[in-house]
Structures are given as structure tokens and as C-alpha cells.
Amino acid sequence: MFPGAFSYTRATSVADAVARLQANPDAKILAGGHSLLPAMKLRLALPGELVDIRDIADLRGIDVNDDAVVVGAMATYNDIRDNAEVAAALPILVEAIQILGDAQVREHGTLVGSLVHNDPAADLTAVVLALGGSVHAVGPNGERDIALDDFFVDLWTTQLEPDEVVTQVRLNRPSATSRMAYRKYPHPASGYAVVGVAAVVEMDGDTVASARVGLTGATNTAVRLTALEDALAGSKLDEASIASLVQGSVEDLTINGDQFASETYRANLIEVLTRRALLGD
């Protein structure tokens, strides 16, 4: 299909982009475009204007420090994947990017764009929930940080206001003794996650000190499995312990079913993939 009619402008600064969003309530930010443009072609998104932020050089940076990895809004997947410091600090992020989309998506798509678009089957929403952190947004009323735990609201919906621009995402850096992995069952045609599970586990010797587990593909938006996280604390990270804790971890979730995967099938996938992510299988 063809998208609806829209105008196209190139913002020269973050302030310029915010002003254009404020002037046109139907405007949308265009970064890599690999999430937004397919939605437009399917008429799932009908923006009246696209505000392209690719010319804003300040949005391309990646900074790695002892506490966090800060990724600019225009840093592409390949920029992240090819950064040795990011690979050392957040191997789960690089692992997920390597199985995300195709070569064209990885060359032009952006992490921040994926988070703002909030596709219910996106890979990296689960990964960033497992890591924790915040997005930095700029709008007509100033700047603010939004915790990733609060950012994803519902299907293609976030806490971002229509006239705000996300300039960067800050991802917490786990300790050197942490264990992390992302596992997914991909849709055979699109490659999107039918179910995807990301786990970041802080260890105290052979015992779990704390855990964060993010889920995508099964519900209207990415969520954390907080009940499982609480149950994992103080347990051993072995097959027997994990199998018993993961069982029943989906009871409080509203799981979606469709023609490709029923609710029951997705529920089973959650348990299987959660076990694999926690064990690194």
C-alpha cells in the first residue's frame, strides 16, 4: 500500500524539531524510518508531516562510562553493534541487534526510534527493560528524564508527549559479574518476536542477588516479569531452580493470541525462552 499524504521537513536542531512538532499536531519525528515508514504504508500511522532529524549531529554520539551507556537518538544499530566499549559493557544489546531485522534495518534504524515507536513485537524494548535506565526528552516546556520502567504504556504508545523529542537513552551498566542474555522465537516472515525474553542477573557468588526480566511479543507492550524477578532473588541459577520458578510466571499477564500463535502457545514460549535467557542456553 501507499502512505497517506504528508509533508517533509529536515530539522536543523532539536529546538527546531520541537517547534515543528508544536506547530503541527499531526507531525512525527523521522529518524531511521524502519519502524515508522512500514506503519505508514499499511495506514497504521498517518502523520501529516515528517520531521527528519538526521542532520542534527549532536544526536549521533555514544558514551560509555562506569555507570551507564548513553546512546544518542541518531546512533544506528550498526553504530552500537560496532562499538567495542558497548559490546564489553552491554553484550545483551549487541546480541539482540545481531538478530534484529536485516542489513538495511541495522544500517539505518535507531535504538531510540524503536523505543519511541514501541512496536509490541520489537526486540529492544525487552532488552532495555531488562537493563533499566531512562530516556531524555526535550519539549516546549523544557527537558525531562523518563524512566524506562514507566516509558512503555500500551500498543504503540509511550509516555512521550506529541511535541517532545527524545534525544538519548541512558542504559544502566550491570556489574562485571552479571549474567545477561536475550532469547526470542522469531516470526518466520518478519523476524519480529513472537515472544522475546531478555534477562539481566546480578550474582552474589552462585546465588542471584537481583534480576530484571523483560518480555516482548506476547502482550500489548513490553513488560517486566516482576513477580519472577522477586522470586529469583536468593535462588541458585541452575536448571532445577529456574524450572520451578519460571513455571507459572505468566499467570498475571494478559497474553495476546493471533493466527500465528495462540495465547496458550505464547504462554509456553514465555516459560521456555525465560528459562533459556536465565541459563544462557
pLDDT at 33 over 90: no
Mean pLDDT of 196-220: 96
Domains and CATH numbers, the chain: 7-52 (3.30.43.10), 57-172 (3.30.465.10), 179-279 (3.30.390.50)
pLDDT of residue 247: 84
pLDDT at 68 over 90: yes
* Whole-number percent of the chain with pLDDT over 90: 82
> CA dihedral defined by 201, 107, 136, 27, rounded to 10 degrees?
-140
The residue whose grid cell reads 504462554 is 267
Q: Where are the alpha helices (DSSP H) in the chain?
A: 14-23, 36-41, 77-81, 84-89, 91-98, 103-108, 111-117, 124-131, 148-151, 226-232, 239-246, 263-279
Mean pLDDT of 48-74: 96
Would you state the cell numbers that stand for residue 239, as one nine-digit string?
A: 536448571
Q: What is the largest CA-CA distance in the chain?
A: 58
The tens digit of pLDDT for each residue in 227-279 reads: 999 999 999 988 988 988 998 778 889 999 999 899 999 999 999 999 999 99
pLDDT of residue 101: 84
pLDDT at 67 over 80: yes
pLDDT of residue 241: 87
Contact 224, 132 (CB under 8 A): no
pLDDT at 19 over 90: yes
d(CA 98, CA 69): 18
The tens digit of pLDDT for each residue in 105-152 reads: 899 999 999 999 999 999 999 999 999 999 999 999 999 999 999 999
Mean pLDDT of 196-210: 95
DSSP 113: H
